[in-house]
A and B are shown apart, each in its own frame.
Chain A
Amino acid sequence: MNNRILEYRRDFPLLSGADIAYLDNAATTQKPVSVLDAVRHYYEAENANPLRGVYELSEKATAAYENARAAVKNFIGAKSSDEIIFTSNASASINLAAYSYGLNFLKEGDEIVVSVMEHHSNFLPWKMVAEKTGAKLVKLCPGEDGYITPAQLDKVLTDKTKLVAVTQVSNVLGQVNDIKALAKRAHEVGAVILCDGAQSVPHMKVNVSDLDVDFLAFSGHKMLSPMGIGVLYGKRSCLKKMPPFFYGGEMIEIVHWDSVRYADIPHKFEAGTVNAGGAVGLNAAIEYIGKVGFDLIEEQERLLTDLAMDGLGAIEHVHIVGSPKKEDHKGIVTFTIDDVHPHDVAGILSSDGVCVRAGHHCAQPLMDYLGVRSTTRASFAFYNTPEEVERFLDSVSSVRKRMGY
């Protein structure tokens, strides 16, 4: 393991303050002190209502907020900052796209292709759009290798397909779908593509211009930022024609009783007082991730995932969900143990100080597709150590015995 990892780990107060192995990073990550300090600094030195006041403090707040937008733009390779809309999380981002794009540009007879491995956040909004517009919801299944491939997409694409919603990394299977190839296929039939980047953006270089997606949604809190800040990237051409989703303060140019002119993008979609502190935290998180670098992040998460896959594979009565190949798992390992319910697995692991997620992971259609009721999931971040994975494996090995088997 690279020595820098232990240095970075010390930047996370929660990790040094508790004797736990935190392996639920796909749910949310811990926050480094630089992010906490940045938020604190914002509220101590720059806080005013951004985008409104003409006094200097408000200008500082506006600058802090808009600098964060520029940082996100650079981080994901967008062409311009006005393609970055701040939301509260990935769910809010996808809802914005569904309500504003989906309800206004889809109609009866159109088809919405959604993969079966989506988080409920990228499934339910499209189900709602289908029900309200009369468009048809079309299920996109993975191929035998577990990936959503262009070949699988080809099976369901038609000239009626108007939107494709697919995740880059499954929050259960951990497999990385080839979004660039999927986007190309979607565009060939004239459809737009929305990519759920909640599990990819924190763990690998994601470049929207290279992927050529129309929308990308992700959450700040899964990438070292505070909760309550998220991003919807949208191509200018899409955002420009979309109507607002929320209406209210600071999203207008002129309002009269009889006529309204809305603000331009991105502010058109950011009604009400914005989460400037959260945006500042996200900016600091992006800076921190830049300092660590995706090379090291991916190297460490690969090391941990391989250890977990090898270790779980060697324990009797443990079954990996999804691909048996460790290289197919990007920091996420989901499993079941014979005769023991996942909530009991997580309960026993918790008594050993190991934090993992149990249940359906907000992906019930995928659980149905896989034929499992619920599962246990360990998910890693670069600040986790091989010792934590060993602690996890030791606890997993003891589960059946402690349940009386």
Chain B
Amino acid sequence: MEDRLFYNEVLTDHNKHPYHKCELDHPDLMLEGVNPSCGDDIYLQLKMDGDIIADGAFVGDGCAISQASTDIMLEMIIGRTKQEAIRLADIFAKMIRDEATEEDIEELEEAGALKDVAKMPARVKCAALGWRTLKEMLEKA
């Protein structure tokens, strides 16, 4: 059963007031990510400066976990290199499989607020949507 406190302030704040939920002008990379079984849907956009993620945004519709997780992710990866972003995506994937160490979770900063999702199998795919889409997009680029 879900923890009563799972919907913590980090998550509800990013859901209610996302920093990066908007459209970018002329993004360099775009990819739509969906969870067909529950209807979560995001459209991720990035602006690249060489290997550096210069800016990022998303539009979409879905549960608070999918939307907040994507917003938190963008907050973290903007300004980082493509390789760093992919590495963080891998750590996040480890965390929601409940395989991450304390240090791993610390490295994820705010995204660590989603660690309890590992105990909620039905919601893992919601938390993973943004990161999964990001990784696919960067690896293809």
Shortest Cβ distance from residue B77 to the other chain A in the assembled complex, whole angstroms: 24
Residue among B2, B9, B64 with the highest chain A CB neighbour number at 10 A: B64
Nearest CB in chain A: distance from B46 CB, A: 25
Check: B12 CB closer than 8 A to any chain A CB. Answer: yes
Residues in A neighbouring B40, C-beta threshold 8 A = 343
Evaluate contact between A403 and B12: CB separation under 8 angstroms: yes
Contact residues of B between 82 and 141, Cβ < 8 Å to A: 120, 123, 126
Closest to B67 in A: A341
Q: Which residues of B contact A55 (CB under 8 A)?
A: none
Asked if A348 is at the interface (CB within 8 A of a chain B CB), the reply is yes
Which A residues are in CB contact (< 8 Å) with B26? Answer: none
Could you tell me the distance between the alpha carbons of A167 and B123 in the complex, rounded to whole angstroms?
A: 32
Say yes or no for B3: interface residue by CB 8 A criterion: yes
Bound Cα distance A347, B64 (Å): 10
Instruction: Report whether A347 and B4 are in contact in the complex, using a CB–CB cutoff of 8 Å.
Output: no
B1 near A404 with CB under 8 A, answer: no
Taken together as a complex, chains A and B put the C-alpha atoms of A165 and B56 apart, in Å, by 48
Closest to A402 in B: B7
Are A403 and B1 neighbours in the complex by a CB distance under 8 Å? no
B79 within 8 A of A: no
Q: Which residue of A is nearest B40, CB measured?
A: A343
Q: Does A351 sit within 8 A of B, measured CB to CB? A: yes
Q: Which of B1, B16, B63 contacts A351 (CB 8 A)?
A: B1
Given A350-B2, A351-B6, verify A343-B61 contact (CB < 8 Å): no
A interface residue count range (under 10 / 10 to 19 / 20 to 34 / 35 or more): 20 to 34
A373 interfacial contact with B, CB 8 Å: yes
Instruction: Render B20-45 as a binary contact track against A, CB cut-off 8 A, 1 for contact.
Output: 00000000000000000111100000
Distance of A199 Cα from B94 Cα, bound (Å): 42
Quote the shortest CB–CB distance from B33 to chain A (angstroms): 16
Contact A340 B2 (CB under 8 A): no
Q: CB distance B38 to A404 under 8 Å?
A: no
Q: How far is the CA of A265 from the CA of B9 in the complex (A)?
A: 62
Residues of A close to B12: CB separation below 8 A = 403-404
Q: How far is the CA of A350 from the CA of B64 in the complex (A)?
A: 15
- Given that A351-B2, A359-B38, A404-B12 are contacting pairs, would A341 and B63 also be in contact in the complex, using a CB cutoff of 8 Å? yes
Q: Which residues on the B side are within 8 Å of A353 (C-beta)?
A: 1
Q: Does B53 contact A (CB under 8 A)?
A: no
> Hey, which chain A residues are within 8 Å of B67, CB to CB?
341
CB pair A344 B39 closer than 8 Å: no
Q: Is A384 in the interface zone, CB < 8 Å from B?
A: no
A344 and B61 contact, Cβ closer than 8 Å, known pairs A350-B1, A404-B13, A404-B15: no
Task: Decide yes or no whether A257 CB sits under 8 A from chain B.
Answer: no
Given A344-B65, A350-B1, A351-B2, A405 and B16 contact (CB-CB distance below 8 Å): yes
Partner of B2, one of A347, A358, A373: A347
> What would be 20 A-B contacts, judged by CB atoms less than 8 Å apart?
A340-B64, A341-B67, A342-B63, A343-B38, A343-B62, A343-B65, A344-B64, A347-B2, A347-B7, A347-B65, A347-B123, A350-B2, A351-B1, A351-B2, A352-B4, A374-B38, A374-B39, A403-B15, A404-B9, A404-B12
Residues of A whose CB lies within 8 Å of any CB of B are 339-344, 347-348, 350-353, 358-360, 373-374, 402-405
